[in-house]
Structure 1
Amino acid sequence: MRLDLTTLNLILAIEQNRSITKGAAREHLALAAASKRVSDLESRLGVQLFERRARGVEPTEACRALVRHIRSLHASLHALESEVMEFARGIKGHLRIAANSGAIAECLPADLAAFSQAHPQIRISLEDLTSAEVQAAVAEGRADVGVFTPPLLDNRLQHWFYRDARLAVLVPAGHELAARSAVSFSDLLDYDLIGLHAGASAQELMREQALARGRTLNARLQVRGFDAIAQLVEAGLGVAVLPEGPAERFSRIFAVRLLRLDEAWGARDYCLGVARQERLPTVLQRFVEALCPQSKTIEPTEKARKPA
């Protein structure tokens, strides 16, 4: 069944105005022609889209569902138009990247800058998501490539080792643990923990580790952004576990102490993943090879297959 854009735009206009007359006027259609389009569409779909009232119309649940898809279609068409028009300005490709907060804070910016300098005609967009959300976005086609921490949750992806990293601990400068150089995770469970929002990989990992010890994670404060975490730690509201890179930077800016996390699971990998396909588009292949030069054959490494 084919749905033409004129009719779909008419449905959206009627839903927004709660009037067939006003919807038809907005879409520059005669009232009789607009009414026929609505009736024909209702017949083809087998549902009623509007309930006729004395002072207009009211959309049914079926109509509201259809309108959601129409709005999504408009967004896709706008993105399509914008991306195609970029070719007229000399842009030769658009790379949509999704990455978790740790990768964005630790290692990704420098690599993106180097790639952009080497390929100025490729436009890059970047979205900050949790590792699980990154994998879903790539698998569902909402992103071309993702950077995340293992484990791999979706077998629709192929992935490579990108960078290794460590988790570290921040405590207030005057904290009773501040005199130590390293702490175990058990040492931290007696204190309030400041972390990222639920779903962030480090946060979920800490929750699992606390449960394994028969303890409860005192996650009193959860925020978006490592800088906010560091400021809350400085204010004495708790301690935090976060990637070593940003933790080290914050220890020079805020009144906090950087401690080593003495746990094997404190070492973790960042992986780069794409949707499985026989041949990667040229832009995507160049990006993979630039960030994972050890994977020139575009094959996942053994290291990337191991869960963190």
Structure 2
Amino acid sequence: MDLTTLNLVLAIEQTRSITRGAEREHLALAAASKRLSDLESRLGVQLFERRARGVEPTEACRALVRHIRALHASLHALESEVVEFARGIKGHLRIAANAGSIAECLPPDLVAFSQAHPQIRISLEDLTSAEVQAAVAEGRADVGVFTAPLLDNRLQTWTYRQGRLAVLVPKGHALSKRSAVSFDDLLDYDLIGLHAGAAAQDMMIEQAVARGRTLNARLQVRGFDAIAQLVEAGLGVAVLPGGPAERFARVFDLKALRLDEDWAQRDYVLAVARQERLPMVVQRFVDQLCPPPAKDSLPVKDD
């Protein structure tokens, strides 16, 4: 299964024509037809339905096209990363982190690591805690930062930082005269939360169910800044990490309150995939953010 044939499939799918697809890939029509026929025989499926005015991709073809596009993205990333070595870049560290860690604690540590290791390129992806763990376990990220609990035993973890959830209410709200509130206090109001899958949102749902109550999740959005603006507009109250809650209280017409619950205290976890030896770039990052006792440190292999 070669790239020329896969690119031909993509061209035919986009043009809805074997002739135009062949032209776009600079192939003779007979050669393109032969490649397509051989690929269909190898896969044991029909990729295109022939119509009077061209072809229509089958479901099998659409599935194949998704993988071809993913392959193109991977090849582009591969080329970009290898070319960087010619410009003096000595490594690439892929980090996946949840929104809370990015908002509360991770940026200063990334700056410090970048200053100490200017020849290592860092990429950062914002995912939910569950998505972070899957990305690291499956090799799509080198390091993950997420909120406990650990869901995947394929990971080696360290405690990175601690954070605490807070409550954001509009100034003048019935709760705004307090300095702290319980979760029961919040269940009487509309709650503005993060999208499904966010650790804090899942925890609130779990806590509401345990109390035999319903979580009035009026709005769910992506991004703490959007939550703050909706709270300021009077559409509800919100539970979010304490760091951003305090910052928003200084910028918007809001008040940050302590959430007086044991589960409001959260551990941020640093994780890598379990392996006998960590690549040097990854080990340096782990050691800088979570200097472990010698017995907890994984052996290092040179890149």
Q: Distance in 2 between matches of 1:42 and 1:126?
A: 39
Given candidates 171, 179, 182, the residue that maps to 1:181 is 179
SS in 2 for 1:96: strand
Given candidates 20, 23, 27, the residue that maps to 1:22 is 20
Matched-pair contact (CA < 8 Å) for 1:19–1:56:
yes
* Counterpart position of 2:157: 159
- The Cα offsets for residues 261-308 of structure 1, whole Å up to 9 and x where unpaired, read as 1111111100011111111111111111111013555459xxxxxxxx
Matched-pair contact (CA < 8 Å) for 1:7–1:37:
yes
Q: Distance in 2 between matches of 1:116 and 1:287?
A: 10
- The Cα offsets for residues 114-165 of structure 1, whole Å up to 9 and x where unpaired, read as 0011011111111111111111111122211111011111111111100011
| Offset at residue 58 of structure 1 (A) | 2.3
1:245-260 superposed matches below 5 A: 245-260=243-258
* Counterpart position of 2:8: 10
Q: Distance in 1 between matches of 2:9 and 2:296?
A: 46
Give the letter for the 1:28 counterpart.
H
1:93-104 superposed matches below 5 A: 93-104=91-102
Matched-pair contact (CA < 8 Å) for 1:171–1:234:
yes
* Counterpart position of 2:301: none
After TM superposition, the structure 1 stretch with the greater mean CA deviation from structure 2, 129-138 or 34-43, is: 34-43
- The Cα offsets for residues 7-30 of structure 1, whole Å up to 9 and x where unpaired, read as 111121122222222111111111
| Offset at residue 47 of structure 1 (A) | 2.1
**Counterpart check, 1:219 vs 2:208:** no
Give the letter for the 2:88 counterpart.
G
Matched-pair contact (CA < 8 Å) for 1:160–1:299:
no
After TM superposition, the structure 1 stretch with the greater mean CA deviation from structure 2, 277-286 or 19-28, is: 19-28
Let me know the Cα RMSD of the aligned residues.
1.5
- The Cα offsets for residues 223-276 of structure 1, whole Å up to 9 and x where unpaired, read as 211122222222222211111111111121222122111111111100011111
TM-score, structure 2 normalization? 0.94
* Counterpart position of 2:52: 54
Give the letter for the 1:124 counterpart.
I
Given candidates 114, 133, 140, the residue that maps to 1:116 is 114
Given candidates 208, 218, 223, the residue that maps to 1:210 is 208
Q: Distance in 1 between matches of 2:207 and 2:131?
A: 21
Q: How many equivalent residue pairs?
A: 298
Matched-pair contact (CA < 8 Å) for 1:289–1:296:
no
SS in 1 for 2:63: helix
The verdict on how the C-alpha distance between 1:170 and 1:60 changes in structure 2, with shifts beyond 3 A counting, is closer
Q: Distance in 2 between matches of 1:227 and 1:42?
A: 50
Q: Distance in 2 between matches of 1:260 and 1:46?
A: 61
* Counterpart position of 1:304: none
SS in 2 for 1:293: coil
**Counterpart check, 1:291 vs 2:284:** no
Matched-pair contact (CA < 8 Å) for 1:160–1:295:
no
Give the letter for the 1:270 counterpart.
Y
